[in-house]
């Protein structure tokens, strides 16, 4: 009896140690880089050195893109001998893990992310500038603008996302000419909730931003270089938008009760004819058997309703031991047309490289999003945007729920102003 339980206890200890070991062990890229140090250029003749001598790259990728990137990485390894290790990470964890563990041993060399992280990553000293040189001309303007922060490029862009209007062509055969036209058409078709856009208890300012721009109220102004300037808060110009939002809340056309799931459900069941959403929801809508068309966002005013552009790309870890290989991987490989096209095929999001984007736009859905994003501006990446997001959504939700529009909006502006001034 005694011996057995003793052993069982020891077995448990051994198993737990194994777990602890695997957690501590990390990716082991440190070992790889030290081995590459020792293999000095002894042989000058071999142009295709074995992979071990060329070192390896650890790339953190969000779990949805991991499989697509694995193929791409395998090709790169074949060409250069640099082993690329793809580590799949949960989308909402990548940024935090990168900032906290980036400088530690075994951290990633390259990290997939979004342009609105740049301000935070630069402030934490974790992202390295990438010099694109003349190659920057090959990318779309909005992609380069979004990847640039304080005059330097910190991200190699690969895709550009923006919101657009998905339309159920059976319920609404024509693209709406304005917001009111859209609601009127849908109501005529006998729908109780013709238009859905995801909100929630704390609001969703990203999805309401197109309407806000239609009232001429961006968040921040830009300085002479075209960079967002935190000292120019233009949110205060949005009082007319606040009034409009209040009306929509009362009429029920936009509601905090509609979460992302409810919006998707209503559109999939044909209870809503229009859905303001991004390319990530196209597959779900098509899978539900809805015939869709992608239109520009209908404006409630005579100005265009411009959404935010979100640019996806790759960062290089400032504290990586393999920055040269990482730069080569990004600039001379990910930034080329065949790779961007390949990434597009798996993600169905418009490529950042113009040549690949033109190819991709043969698909009417992609072309639709591209057209809807014609006026799109990059979401500000400056750290001050954090304060805005902290207060923006709840204020909009409060207005939709019936709070006084003018007062709530003005409170929002003063609160953000105060927080930025601190």
Q: Which 360-419 residues touch another protein, going by CB under 8 A?
A: 383, 385-387, 389-391, 394-395, 398, 401, 411, 415, 418-419
Site for another protein in 197-226 (CB under 8 A): 201-202
Does position 91 bind another protein by CB under 8 A?
no
Which H helix or E strand runs over 286?
helix 282-287
Nearest to 227 by CA among 154, 156, 150, 155: 150
Question: Residue 153 forms beta bridges with which residues?
Answer: 148
Helices then strands, counting H and E runs in the chain, come out as: 18, 14
Q: Say how far apart CA 221 and CA 175 lie, in whole Å.
A: 32
- Residue 100's CB is within 10 A of a number of other CB atoms, namely 12
Segments of 128-252 assigned E as strands: 148-149, 152-153, 156-162, 164-168, 195-197, 220-222, 228-233
The DSSP annotation for 381-408 comes to -STTHHHHHHHHHHHHHHHHTT--HHHH
Site for another protein in 230-289 (CB under 8 A): 257, 262
Residue with tokens 């951290």: 107
Give buried/exposed letters for 69-82 (b at 16+ CB in 10 A, else e).
Answer: beebbeebbeebbb
**Can you tell me which of 97, 286, 328, 363 binds another protein, judged by CB under 8 A?**
328
Kindly state the smallest distance separating residue 411's Cβ from another protein, in Å. 7
Among the residue ranges 26-34, 179-187, 223-231, 363-371, the one whose residues contact another protein (CB under 8 A): 26-34
Kindly state the smallest distance separating residue 294's Cβ from another protein, in Å. 29
Residue closer to another protein, measured from CB, 177 or 414: 414
Residue closer to another protein, measured from CB, 146 or 258: 258
Residue closer to another protein, measured from CB, 161 or 321: 321
Residue closer to another protein, measured from CB, 124 or 237: 124
x/- contact string, 105-134, with another protein (CB under 8 A)?
Answer: xx------------xx-xxxxx-xxxx-xx
Residue 222 CA, distance from chain mean position: 22
Kindly state the smallest distance separating residue 175's Cβ from another protein, in Å. 30
Note whether 58 and 326 are within 8 A (CB). no
φ and ψ at residue 193, rounded to 5 degrees: -130, 80
Q: Strand, helix or coil at 23?
A: helix
Site for another protein in 332-351 (CB under 8 A): 332
Residue closer to another protein, measured from CB, 128 or 356: 128
x/- contact string, 135-174, with another protein (CB under 8 A)?
Answer: ---------------xxx----------------------
Among the residue ranges 25-33, 161-169, 224-232, 284-292, the one whose residues contact another protein (CB under 8 A): 25-33
Residue closer to another protein, measured from CB, 55 or 205: 55
The DSSP annotation for 351-370 comes to BSBHHHHHHHTTSHHHHHHH
Does position 99 bind another protein by CB under 8 A?
yes
Residue closer to another protein, measured from CB, 10 or 303: 10
Q: Say how far apart CA 144 and CA 113 lie, in whole Å.
A: 15
x/- contact string, 301-320, with another protein (CB under 8 A)?
Answer: -----------------xx-
Residue closer to another protein, measured from CB, 173 or 252: 252
């Amino acid at each position: 009896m005694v011996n057995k339980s003793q052993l069982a206890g020891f077995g448990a200890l051994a198993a737990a140690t194994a777990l602890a070991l695997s957690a501590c062990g990390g990716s082991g890229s440190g070992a790889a880089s030290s081995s590459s140090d020792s293999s000095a250029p002894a042989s000058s003749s071999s142009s295709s050195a074995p992979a071990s001598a060329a070192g390896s790259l650890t790339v953190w990728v969000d779990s949805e893109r991991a499989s697509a990137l694995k193929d791409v990485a395998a090709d790169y390894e074949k060409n250069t001998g640099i082993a690329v290790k793809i580590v799949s990470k949960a989308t909402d964890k990548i940024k935090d893990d990168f900032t906290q563990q980036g400088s530690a041993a075994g951290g990633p060399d390259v990290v997939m992310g979004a342009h609105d992280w740049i301000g935070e990553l630069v402030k934490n000293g974790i992202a390295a500038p990438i010099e694109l040189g003349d190659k920057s001309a090959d990318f779309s303007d909005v992609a380069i603008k979004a990847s640039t922060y304080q005059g330097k490029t910190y991200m190699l862009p690969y895709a550009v996302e923006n919101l657009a209007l998905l339309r159920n062509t059976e319920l609404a055969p024509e693209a709406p000419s304005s917001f009111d036209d859209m609601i009127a058409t849908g109501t005529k078709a006998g729908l109780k909730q013709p238009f859905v856009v995801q909100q929630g208890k704390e609001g969703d300012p990203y999805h309401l931003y197109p309407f806000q721009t239609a009232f001429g109220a961006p968040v921040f102004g830009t300085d002479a270089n075209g960079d967002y300037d935190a000292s120019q808060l233009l949110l205060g110009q949005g009082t007319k938008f606040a009034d409009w939002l209040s009306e929509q809340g009362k009429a029920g056309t936009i509601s905090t009760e509609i979460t992302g799931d409810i919006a998707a459900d209503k559109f999939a069941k044909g209870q809503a004819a229009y859905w303001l959403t991004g390319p990530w929801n196209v597959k779900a809508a098509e899978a539900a058997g809805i015939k869709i068309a992608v239109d520009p966002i209908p404006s409630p005013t005579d100005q265009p309703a411009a959404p935010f552009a979100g640019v996806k790309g790759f960062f290089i870890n400032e504290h990586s031991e393999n920055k040269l290989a990482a730069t080569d991987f990004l600039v001379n490989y990910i930034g080329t047309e065949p790779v961007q096209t390949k990434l597009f095929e798996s993600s169905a999001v418009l490529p950042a490289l113009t040549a690949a984007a033109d190819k991709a736009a043969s698909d009417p859905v992609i072309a639709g999003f591209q057209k809807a994003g014609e006026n799109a501006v990059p979401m500000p990446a400056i750290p001050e945007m954090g304060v805005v997001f902290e207060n923006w959504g709840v204020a909009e939700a409060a207005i939709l729920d019936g709070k006084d529009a003018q007062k709530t909006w003005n409170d929002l502006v003063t609160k953000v102003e105060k927080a930025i001034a601190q």
